[in-house]
């Protein structure tokens, strides 16, 4: 039994995610291979944060990883806030 036949199987306890993509349960909010939609792959150096591919090396709202915000006025460089 696969999720394409029974989509609610992905909502069961212990499932990797609530979304069904290509017969696999995934979380499209965090899955780098299915970011925001089935088959949308994030590029090298990006992460899937909230269903969008973001550059975690330079994004001050996702610096070094999802939801890792730099302090106001600082910047993100190489995945670190205010790297000198």
How far apart are the C-alpha atoms of 75 and 84, rounded to whole Å?
A: 10
φ/ψ bin of 14: left (φ > 0), alpha (ψ from -120 to 50), beta (otherwise)? left
Confidence of residue 84 (pLDDT cuts 50, 70, 90): low
pLDDT tens per residue, range 15-63: 999 999 999 999 999 999 999 999 999 999 999 999 999 999 999 999 9
- Strands 52-55, 19-21: pairing is unpaired
Domain ranges of the chain: 1-41, 45-84
What is the reported pLDDT for 2? 79
Confidence of residue 1 (pLDDT cuts 50, 70, 90): low
pTM of the model: 0.83
φ/ψ bin of 79: left (φ > 0), alpha (ψ from -120 to 50), beta (otherwise)? left
């Amino acid at each position: 039994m696969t999720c394409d036949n029974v989509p609610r199987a992905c909502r069961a306890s212990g499932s990797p995610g609530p979304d069904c993509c290509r017969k696999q349960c995934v979380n499209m909010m965090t899955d780098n291979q299915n970011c925001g939609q089935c088959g949308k792959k994030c590029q090298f150096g990006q992460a899937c944060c909230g269903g969008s591919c973001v550059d975690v090396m330079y994004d001050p709202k996702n610096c070094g990883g999802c939801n890792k915000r730099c302090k106001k006025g600082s910047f993100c460089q190489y995945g670190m806030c205010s790297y000198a």
